[in-house]
Chain A
Amino acid sequence: MHRLLAIVPAYNEAAAIAATIDDIRRKAPGWDVLVVDDGSTDNTAGRATTTGARVIRHPFNLGIGGAVQSGYLFALENGYDYAVQVDGDGQHDAGYLPEMLGRLQSSQDLNMVTGSRFLAEDREGYRSSAPRRLGIRAFSWILSRITGRAITDPTSGLRMTDRHGIELFARDYPHDYPEVEAVLLLHAHKLRAEEIPVRMRPRTTGRSSITSSVSVIYMTKVLLAVFVGLFRTRPNVDPGDNAAVSAEASL
């Protein structure tokens, strides 16, 4: 029996978190639920605890990258075989988890499955706002060029990885707006990812972590990271390498 962990990063999602956990419990009963409360100032952790989910509470807000990596660290430490990220705001439908898991398990050399909003033919469901779609389109074009595979939804936070992915992400995960860079990280480690079509729901409560004023800075930052990444011969950290962030060998 494989051990399965659903990582639910949440920042001020007290209104939606219980329903999100309940959704996972009902539609994907084999999955343990871990909520990573990323320094919420509302009762997110309390609501999550009353549902019986495991909860990691960050003493302050680290951002989505730090929250998700906390989850992968937990998965690594506790010997989970598969981990999936499900946003705490209820945008992701847990009904897709069995299908994603089946896909991961049925193909030997597949390491990550992402739910893409833009693969579905019917164009229904939530597909983000127009300006964001433009940004997503740009990243999707760049990433598809770099990886040589079609990547239609590089910012999707609904992604499931196997043990290799867990080990990689626990060791090294990008900071802000990490989904795009994580795709490249996998590619640099020669791990394979695939997308399946999903529909997402618009968020009903709470606020997105990415507001329009900072999204331009984020995009620039991610573009820089993607660009610099092209010049890295050994881009990332493998087992036995020096740590990604090390006090040794600094100026």
Chain B
Amino acid sequence: MTQVSSTQDAGNKIRNNPKFHELVRKRTSFAWTLSAVMLAIYFGFILLIAYGKSFLGSSLSGGVTTIGFPIGVGVILAAIALTGVYVRRANTEFDELNRQIIEEAR
């Protein structure tokens, strides 16, 4: 019982802590922005496949390698890079904010 009420108590403090709302706002908008970037990159690629076959099939620099290859591999690398970007900011800025919120709720 004591644990439940202390969690509720901490919950009330968090609810009234402006840092909590700051964290949620920042993290949510960052997450949805990055999701939108990923969606745009990927569906851009899909639409190129559907409508821009000849563009993807044109030569990259005079040789047989086509523009499609760096673009396709680029989408894979972009996915890895975006997760890296998110993890970096979350591990530093968001985690620090989160730590303060939990600390102040004790």
Decide if A and B are genuine partners. no
Measured CB to CB, the residues of A under 8 A from B are none
Measured CB to CB, the residues of B under 8 A from A are none
